[in-house]
Amino acid sequence: YGEMGQKIDYVFKVVLIGDSAVGKSQLLARFARNEFSLDSKATIGVEFQTKTLQIDNRTVKAQIWDTAGQERYRAVTSAYYRGAVGAMLVYDMTKRQSFDHMARWLEELRSHADKNIVIMLIGNKSDLGTLRAVPTEDAKEFAERESLFFMETSALEATNVEKAFMTGLEEIYRTVS
């Protein structure tokens, strides 16, 4: 049962992955609590946050895991991926390197996670459009090639954040229901 006493029909574990400082923790803060912080410290302690929502008249509890500053390659443990039905692969659209690293994060993810995991590619910090280093087309191409969903977001301006999480969660719902 959820915080409001409602019956939970599904619990979906979703993991956030990607380089440090791309905005994973702020995307989660925005989605789970509608909060944002410009001077967010490296994530310490908090393993996951939950948000309970309705999909198709069912009560779904999204349990979204955030890396606790373990973003170095291969430092994220298999326990982090265990049981995940969704993943948000996040890069910073103003940092080309964070996008170039998506291929190996994806490889990591695929080697640890369930075959049917729903993966969403997220280009964050769209509010910094003038500093863009990753064309939308490059990301779209990569997403299509790898069969990922794709969206550009801004945790700061709350652009597409709800939509990105909900698109992923609805797709997960479709695959399990």
Given the complex with ligand GDP, which of 9 and 128 has the nearer CB atom? 128
Given the complex with ligand GDP, which of 40 and 59 has the nearer CB atom? 40
Residue nearest to ligand GDP (CB): 23
Residue 149's φ and ψ, nearest 5 degrees, are: -80, 155
Given the complex with ligand GDP, which of 9 and 127 has the nearer CB atom? 127
Q: Smallest distance from the beta carbon of 74 to ligand GDP, in angstroms? A: 17
Q: Smallest distance from the beta carbon of 44 to Mg ion, in angstroms? A: 9
* Cα–Cα dist 3/50, whole Å: 10
Q: Could you tell which of ligand GDP, Mg ion, none binds residue 22, using a CB distance below 5 to 8 A set by kind?
A: ligand GDP
Given the complex with ligand GDP, which of 28 and 55 has the nearer CB atom? 28
Given the complex with ligand GDP, which of 55 and 155 has the nearer CB atom? 155
Q: Smallest distance from the beta carbon of 19 to ligand GDP, in angstroms? A: 7
* Cα–Cα dist 104/18, whole Å: 10
Q: Smallest distance from the beta carbon of 125 to ligand GDP, in angstroms? A: 4
User: Which residues would be at the binding site for Mg ion (CB under 5 A)?
Assistant: 24-25, 43
**Contact (CB, 8 A) for 70 and 108:** no
Give the type of residue at 92.
Answer: D
Q: Could you tell which of Mg ion, ligand GDP, none binds residue 98, using a CB distance below 5 to 8 A set by kind?
A: none
Tokens of 135: 């064309």
Give the type of residue at 123.
Answer: G
User: Which residues would be at the binding site for ligand GDP (CB under 6 A)?
Assistant: 20-26, 37-40, 43, 124-125, 127-128, 154-156
Tokens of 3: 């915080």
Q: Smallest distance from the beta carbon of 144 to ligand GDP, in angstroms? A: 24
How wide is the angle at C-alpha 81 spanned by C-alphas 106 and 140, nearest 5°? 25
Give the burial class of 17: count Cβ atoms within 10 A of its Cβ; 0-12 exposed, 13-18 middle, 19 or more buried: buried
**Strand partners for 52:** 61
Q: Which residue has the tokens 């996670």?
A: 113
